[in-house]
Structure 1
Amino acid sequence: MKNWFVLQTKPLKEAIVETLLRQAGLGVYYPRIREEDGRIHSLFPCYEFVHFDYPSQYRLVRFTRGVRRVVGNERGPIPIEAALIQEIKAREVDGFIILEDDLGPPEPGDLIEVVKGPWRGLKSIFQRTLSGEQRVMILLNYVQYQGKLIVPRNQIRKARP
């Protein structure tokens, strides 16, 4: 019976392992994320999921070029629930996983932190999202200065309390 298993790959070999296992007729799921600047990364570096029949296809999987091991214990590989794969796939948009900030989007009045760019590390108050939702306005409040700053939306996140 086929089950999903986790593979550990050699560093930067996820894509070749995915290709080779697909060519062998196996189901492979290699979740990726796309950064704001367009770069693509593995969601789980050096790991991907493969759907195969254990033990009959184990050697095919284990000895595929680029595979370090099939995750398991002394009794063999440990299958994972198909529901886990579906949960991860449910976060895909256009083939890439969308990671949501666990604190949610900022609301007016929320304390935020700038996490990228020249203002990195600055804590401020979120005021509003500007047209197109790509830029936001934050309020600066320093000893003898109050002002507003407009920054790209992807450079801020809600500050942890």
Structure 2
Amino acid sequence: MNIYPAEGASTCAQQKSWYLVQCKPRQDERAEDNLARQGYEISRPKCRYQRLIRGQRQWTVESLFPGYLFINLPADSNWGPLRSTRGVSRVVSFGGVPVAVSDSLIKQLQARAEIDAKPELKPGDNVRITEGGFAELNAVFMAIDGEERVILLINLLNRQQQISLPVASICSNE
């Protein structure tokens, strides 16, 4: 009797899945640091946006899901060390069993986080409009207009026109 798996086959102990971890209030970063220090693979999707702080616009980075992060573990892992990690409250579970999150969702969130990490735009930077009626047109960034909008300069009918669009509908042309 062969007790070893066939070549190319995997065992449950070798298969890893992503699980959702709830952090203690405002301790996402602390939990992430402590779990990473213990050697766990962590994903904490973040978003970057501008906000008004003391009258000045500044870029801030925050968790996309405040109070939560994802951890990649084998299904038969010992969950005890996670619960005793500083910043961690619990592993999200249903009926006492941690529920796996799909790999494709984690990959999509990580890809989205890379897009959101674009550098701050400066007047004169070339951008591409990605959404709306002007989608796929190139434009020149001029300024921030309000909390979530930008002023762009586009060439329309051989004239330069100013338009205002949501900041989420543009991407840098670098």
**What TM-score range do you get, normalising by the shorter chain?**
0.5 to 0.7
SS at the partner of 2:141?
A: helix
Contact between 2:151 and 2:165, CA under 8 Å: does it hold in 1?
yes
Does residue 135 (structure 1) correspond to residue 144 (structure 2)? The answer is no
1:29 matched residue in structure 2: 43
1:82 matched to 2:108? The reply is no
Tell me the equivalent position of 1:56: 77
TM-score computed with the length of structure 2 as normaliser:
0.57
* In 2: Cα distance, 1:27 partner to 1:95 partner: 21
| Correspondence for 2:88 | 67
Q: How has the CA–CA distance of structure 1 residues 18 and 35 changed in structure 2, closer, same or farther, with 3 Å as cutoff?
A: same
CA-CA distance at 1:72 after TM superposition: 0.8
Instruction: Give the Cα–Cα distance (whole angstroms) in 2 for the partners of residues 86 and 129 of structure 1.
Output: 29
CA contact (8 A) 1:8 1:46 kept: yes
For residues 93 and 46 of structure 1, the distance between their equivalents in structure 2, rounded to whole angstroms, comes to 20
* 8 Å CA contact 1:33, 1:40 repeated in 2: yes
Segments of 5+ residues of structure 1 without an aligned counterpart are 98-103, 109-127, 138-148
Distance in 2 between residues matched to 1:17 and 1:155, nearest whole Å: 31
Does 2:61 correspond to 1:40? yes
Structure 1 pair 91–156 and aligned structure 2 pair: CA distance change class (3 A):
closer
Cα distance in 2 between the residues matched to 1:70 and 1:64: 11
Distance 1:96 1:155 in 2: 13
TM-score by length of 1: 0.61
CA distance in 2 between partners of 1:69 and 1:5 (Å)? 11
Identity of aligned residues (%): 25
Secondary structure in 2 matching 1:6: strand
Contact 1:129/1:136 (CA < 8 Å) preserved in 2? no
1:15 counterpart letter in structure 2: E
